Amino acid sequence: MELANIEQLIERYENAETSLKEEQVLKEYFQQENVPAHLSEYKAYFNYFSESSTERYTKTLPIKPRRTNWKWLSVAALVALMVSVYSINNSGKLSIEERQEAELAYQETQKAFQLISQNLNKGNSVAIAGLQEFEKAQNKVFKSKK
């Protein structure tokens, strides 16, 4: 690359009119050892950019550990789901003994209700008899007044 050409490029560079390709040419030109004295300050300038573009981020990013958390959470959720499904299924089915016991209890209750209703009916007739007695007495009172 001719010197005059480089100088022209530098001028356009400072006016921000160069393309990325032309800037690459400048950077490469100033990589070499023997640069004319009057352009020596540009050497440091362009080399600085080439050098600082090699800097790397070396730490690990904190995204992976978060992901394993999700994995374990889903495992836990799956276990909880399976346990609950299992227990619901079990509670729906009764064993034969339990069924018989329930039948017995049902019959016993039925009997007890029968007994209560019969006795209640008995009480009913007694109460009505009492009421008739009361009416008789009342009639007597009203007669005596008249």
What are the tokens at 96? 């034969």
CA separation for the pair 20, 5 (Å, rounded): 16
Number of residues engaging another protein in binding (CB under 8 A): 29
Structure token digits, residue 73: 């959470």
Applying CB under 8 A, which of residues 53, 69, 89, 132 lies at the interface with another protein?
53
Region 90-129 residues binding another protein, contact defined as CB under 8 A: none
Rule CB under 8 A: is residue 33 a binding residue for another protein? no
Among residues 51, 92, 93, 141, the one that binds another protein under rule CB under 8 A: 51
**Among 14, 72, 141, 143, contact with another protein (rule: CB under 8 A):** 14
Say how many Å lie between the first and final Cα of the chain, rounded: 149
Distance CA 78, CA 86 (A): 12
Distance of CA 128 to the CA centre of its chain: 69
Site residues for another protein per CB under 8 A? 13-17, 20, 23-24, 40-42, 44-45, 47-49, 51-53, 55-57, 59, 61-64, 66-67
